[in-house]
Chain A
Amino acid sequence: DAGVIQSPRHEVTEMGQEVTLRCKPISGHDYLFWYRQTMMRGLELLIYFNNNVPIDDSGMPEDRFSAKMPNASFSTLKIQPSEPRDSAVYFCASSLFPGVGGGFGDTQYFGPGTRLTVL
């Protein structure tokens, strides 16, 4: 069974360019999460979806960031325009369903991450 798939694995771009990160969750998982990981700030939740609908985007740092989930098997995170401070590893994760306040269904399975470098 394939895990969470992310592409590209590495992205190097120049400041001002548009960057699109892609994610395919585990089939059957209803929840999809986008995280950003940096040395300074650790792991930050950016946004999450339930059944393709964005539920909480309070972690999205600025209007330059946007995320979509057009169907159950695909999501994108877009940064436009990109800046050097956006350099980080971006993870996508998926989970089955919420447990009754914290059940095993909450277990999130992570993709391999996309290492973004903005020059």
Chain B
Amino acid sequence: AQKITQTQPGMFVQEKEAVTLDCTYDTSDQSYGLFWYKQPSSGEMIFLIYQGSYDEQNATEGRYSLNFQKARKSANLVISASQLGDSAMYFCAMSGGYQKVTFGTGTKLQVIP
């Protein structure tokens, strides 16, 4: 069975600073994918970034990067140069096996001006 753990229910970060949102996972699959989604207060779920378990390099998408440490089973999201619009809930998720995606409980990020 897959499991995603996000231990930070809430985080604060100063505008323009970088922030790391933690995510650890557990799976018996050898091949799997890791995802991060953003859910602003408006409610939609926005896909941010993907990392495959066999990808040797950490994924990056603009100001988002995924710090993938396979041996530690962690897939932390790093947001550089935080903006006020980054205030939202952030969900870590993983897929493995046959199209079953497991979501974490989320971290609420608040960016302070």
Alpha-carbon gap, A38 to B100, bound state (A): 20
Set A42, A101, A107, A115: member contacting B50, Cβ < 8 A: A107
CA distance A33 to B99 in the complex (A): 10
Chain B contact residue count (CB 8 A cutoff)? 27
B95 & A115 in contact (Cβ 8 Å cutoff): no
* Interface of chain A: mostly helix, strand, loop or mixed: strand
Query: Residues of A within 8 Å of B, CB-based: how many?
Result: 29
A42-B103, A108-B101, A112-B44 known, 14 other contacts, Cβ within 8 Å = A42-B106, A45-B100, A98-B98, A99-B33, A102-B29, A102-B53, A103-B31, A103-B52, A104-B50, A104-B52, A107-B33, A107-B35, A110-B44, A111-B44
Q: Which of B's residues lie within 8 Å of A, judged by CB?
A: 29-33, 35, 37, 43-47, 50, 52-53, 91, 94-101, 103, 105-106
